């Protein structure tokens, strides 16, 4: 399915992404999306356009990845009239959880989901603010698959195209859509 983001929206979003060099460590060009969320009409438009890309595709839930994936994720779920599921860092969710650990550049991270959040028969849209190496989104996909559910798509605000995230997520054979593509 083709997905075109209106040029004006791309320009407006790009203007509100603050690039912070060497954060959280030397060599990382951090994309700070917080200024976008200071502009209610821009946030609404971003949610409208990204949700539209996933309308009528048989999705049954939207899963957002802690913490910036909660911001637009809940809005996407609202737009699509679907339940929103929280994927959180280890130890944060109060109920019984399932977890998936994945490798970071240094060490390991674990994300968790409530055990009763989804099950077989669900088709889940995974959302995070930004796609870099794809490790986080792939871990989210593994959590979804581990519960017998399907991955119905991936939605990001920003795709860092100089990193192999998009390529890595191809393995899940689901549409991957981002509002912005950045090569720096
Ligand atoms: P990855 O697992 O490598 O795809 O990294 C994606 C996760 O790390 C997302 O939750 C992002 O919020 C965060 N992230 C990675 N790189 C950046 C960056 N350059 N600027 C902002 N957030 C980033």
User: Which mutation among 103, 136, 180 tests ligand 1's pocket best, with the greatest number of atoms within 8 A of CB?
Assistant: 136
Average of per-residue pLDDT across 155-159? 98
Highest mean pLDDT among 1-15, 43-57, 104-118: 43-57
Length of the chain in residues, anyone? 184
Of 26-30, 58-62, 93-97, the range with the lowest mean pLDDT is 26-30
Q: Tell how far the Cα of 39 is from the centroid of ligand 1, in angstroms.
A: 22
Average pLDDT over residues 5-31: 96
Calculate the average pLDDT of the chain: 97
CA of 160 to the centre of ligand 1 (A): 9
Q: Which residues are registered as beta bridge partners of 159?
A: 131, 181
Q: With cut-offs at 50, 70 and 90, classify the pLDDT of residue 102.
A: very high
> Has residue 40 got a pLDDT over 70?
yes
d(CA 29, CA 95): 36
Instruction: State pLDDT tens for residues 44-87.
Output: 999 999 999 999 999 999 999 999 999 999 999 999 999 999 99
Question: 1 pLDDT band (50/70/90 cuts)?
Answer: low
Distance from Cα 170 to the centre of ligand 1, integer Å: 18
pTM beyond cutoff 0.85: yes
Residue among 91, 105, 90, 101 at smallest CA distance from 24 = 105
Q: How many of the other CB atoms lie within 10 Å of CB of 174?
A: 18
pLDDT of residue 27 exceeding 70? yes
Strand (E) or helix (H) holding 51: helix 40-53
The neighbour count for residue 180, using CB atoms within 10 Å, is 22
Q: How confident is the model at residue 105 (pLDDT cuts 50, 70, 90)?
A: confident
Q: Given a cut of 70, is residue 165 above it in pLDDT?
A: yes
* Of residues 2 and 8, more confidently modeled: 8
Question: What does the DSSP 8-state code read for residue 79?
Answer: H
Pairing of strands 61-65, 84-89: parallel
Token code pair at residue 13? 């979003």
Q: Whose CA is nearest to atom 17 of ligand 1?
A: 30
Looking at the CA of residue 165, tell me the nearest atom of ligand 1: 4
Residue 18 annotated to the active site: no
Average pLDDT over residues 32-43: 98
Q: Taking the mean position of all CA atoms in its chain, how far away is CA 165?
A: 12
* Identified catalytic residue from 7, 105, 108, 184: 105
CA 131 to ligand 1: nearest atom: 4
Between the CA of 166 and the centroid of ligand 1 the distance, in Å, is: 13
């Amino acid at each position: 399915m083709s997905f075109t983001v209106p040029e004006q929206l791309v320009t407006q979003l790009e203007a509100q992404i603050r690039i912070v060099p060497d954060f959280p460590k030397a060599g990382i060009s951090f994309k700070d999306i917080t200024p976008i969320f200071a502009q209610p009409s821009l946030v609404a438009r971003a949610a409208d356009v990204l949700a539209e890309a996933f309308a009528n595709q048989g999705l049954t839930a939207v899963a957002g990845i802690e913490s910036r994936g909660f911001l637009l994720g809940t809005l996407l779920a609202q737009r699509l009239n679907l339940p929103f599921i929280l994927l959180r860092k280890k130890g944060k969710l109060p109920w019984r959880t399932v977890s998936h650990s994945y490798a970071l550049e240094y060490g390991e991270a674990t994300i968790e989901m409530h055990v009763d959040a989804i099950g077989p028969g669900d088709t889940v849209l995974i959302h995070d603010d930004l796609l870099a190496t794809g490790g986080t989104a792939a871990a989210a996909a593994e959590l979804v698959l581990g519960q017998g559910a399907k991955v119905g798509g991936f939605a990001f605000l920003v795709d860092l195209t100089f990193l192999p995230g998009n390529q890595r997520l191809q393995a899940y054979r689901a549409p991957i859509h981002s509002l912005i593509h950045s090569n720096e």
